Structure 1
Amino acid sequence: MSTQKKKGITFRGLHRDLGYFYVGLIISFSISGIALNHRNQWSPYRYTYQEIPMQVSLPANPQDIDEKLVKQISVQYKMADQYERFRIRDKQKELEIRYEKGRAKIDLQTGKGQLNMFKKKVVLAEMTKLHQTLNKNWVWYSDIFGIAMLTIAITGMFITRGKKSFRKRGYLLAIAGIIFPLIFLFLL
C-alpha cells in the first residue's frame, strides 16, 4: 500500500482549512448573534452600573416640555455634556432623556424618575458591532467570509462517502435544514 500523499486542493482540505482560518470569526458571530437575538431582554452593548433617583418639576402639559427644559434637567444632574436627545413616550406618560452614557426616564405626572448610567460590555459590544458596521473594508471582508461559509457548506456535502454521504442521507437533513427556518419565517 502506498503512503504517497495526494497533491492539490481537495474538498476535505478546503473545508478544513477555511474552517480553521475562520473559526474565531465564526465563534464571534455566533455569540454576538445569540446576544442580539435577545436584545429585548438584556443589552449586549452595555450594563447599568449606577441608578440615580430623580425628582424634577415638569409642566402639566407634556407638549410644553422642550429642549431648553430638558437641558436644564441635564445640568441639574450633571449630564449636560452628555445630552443627546429627548422624547415623550408611552402615550404621553414618560419623559425619556438619552445621554451618551446614560438614560433618564421620568414620570410626567409625578416628576419622579431614574437616571441609569451605563458602561460598555467590552468584548460583547465589540463583537455585536461586527453585525452592523458599514466600514468599507469590513464589508469586503464580510463578503469574503460569506463566500467562505458557502464554500464550507458546499464542500461539507462532498467530504463524506458511503451510506452517510450527502447523496445517500445528507440531502434529507439539508432539506429539513432549509424547511425549518422557512416555517419560522413564514408561519410562526
Structure 2
Amino acid sequence: MNLNRRNLHRDLGYFYIGLIISFAFSGILMNHREHWHPEKYTIETKEIQVSLPEEKEITEEYAEKLGKDLGIEDKMRRHNVKKGTFKISFEKHDVEIDMETGKGEIVAFNKTPIISQAMKLHKSTSNWWIYYSDIFGLSLITIAITGAIMITHGKNTFARRGWKLAVAGIVIPLLVLIFIG
C-alpha cells in the first residue's frame, strides 16, 4: 500500500462514509424536530371519562394514581392544570382532561423506528461514543486537510482557488452566529 496524500484521503473517506452519512442524516432530522417530532408518533388515541376532584386536590400523587388507574405504566414526567385542562405527561403517553366535564383522551406514543435510533448519535453522552466522535471529528479535519493539499498542480489548487472557498465556508457560519445567534 502506497501511503501518500491521495491514498490517505481516499481511505479515510471510505472508512468514515457510513458515519458521515449517519451524522448528516440525523443532523438534518434534529434540525427539524420541532416540525414533526421524529422521536414520537401517535399510535393510539383513546377517549376517556373520569371524575376529577377540585383543582387544589390535584397533586403529583393523584396524577400518578390516575395514570395507573387508566392503565398507563410508564413513568410520569409532569402534570398541570391550565386553562381548564388537566394535563399529565408520561414517557410514552399524554393525558388531557377537561376539568368541567371530565372528558379527555389518552394519546400513546412510540419512537419512530430507525430515525429515533439515528438521532441518538447526536444525543449520546456515553464515554466510548464521545471518544469515537472525537476521533471522527479529528478524522474529518484530516480528510479536509488531505483533500486541500491533494491537488498540487494547475489552476484549481488550494493555494490558487481553494482557500477562497474555504474562507467563505468559515465566514458564512460566523456571520450567521453574529447576526442570528
Alignment TM class, shorter chain as reference: 0.7 to 0.9
Q: Is 1:25 the counterpart of 2:19 in the alignment?
A: yes
* Counterpart AA for 1:18: L
Query: In the TM superposition, what whole-angstrom CA distance separates every residue of 1:121-159 from its partner, at most 9, and x where no partner exists?
Result: 221111111111121211111111111011011111111
Distance 1:187 1:78, change over 3 A: same
Asked if the contact 1:107/1:113 (under 8 Å) is kept, the reply is yes
Residue matched to 1:148: 139
> How far off its partner does 1:168 sit?
0.9
Residue matched to 2:69: 76
TM-score, normalised to structure 2's length?
Answer: 0.86
> How far off its partner does 1:36 sit?
0.6
Q: Is 1:39 the counterpart of 2:33 in the alignment?
A: yes
Gaps of 5+ in 2: none
Aligned mates of 1:186, 1:166 — CA distance in 2: 27
> How far off its partner does 1:92 sit?
5.7
Of the three residues 105, 108, 129, the one matched with 2:120 is 129
Aligned mates of 1:77, 1:23 — CA distance in 2: 47
Asked if the contact 2:51/2:102 (under 8 Å) is kept, the reply is yes
Residue matched to 1:87: 79
* Counterpart AA for 1:29: F
Aligned mates of 2:169, 2:54 — CA distance in 1: 57
Residue matched to 1:96: 87
Aligned mates of 1:38, 1:93 — CA distance in 2: 31
Residue matched to 2:179: 187
* Counterpart AA for 1:121: T
Aligned mates of 1:183, 1:93 — CA distance in 2: 45
Aligned mates of 2:174, 2:96 — CA distance in 1: 39
Provide the alpha-carbon RMSD of the alignment.
Answer: 2.2
Aligned mates of 2:44, 2:102 — CA distance in 1: 20
Q: Secondary structure of 1:19's partner?
A: helix
Residue matched to 1:66: 59
* Counterpart AA for 2:125: L
Distance 1:126 1:111, change over 3 A: same
Query: In the TM superposition, what whole-angstrom CA distance separates every residue of 1:24-44 from its partner, at most 9, and x where no partner exists?
Result: 111000110110111111122
Pick which of 174-183 and 92-101 moved more: 92-101
TM-score, normalised to structure 1's length?
Answer: 0.83
Aligned mates of 1:12, 1:93 — CA distance in 2: 66
Asked if the contact 2:22/2:118 (under 8 Å) is kept, the reply is yes
> How far off its partner does 1:115 sit?
1.9
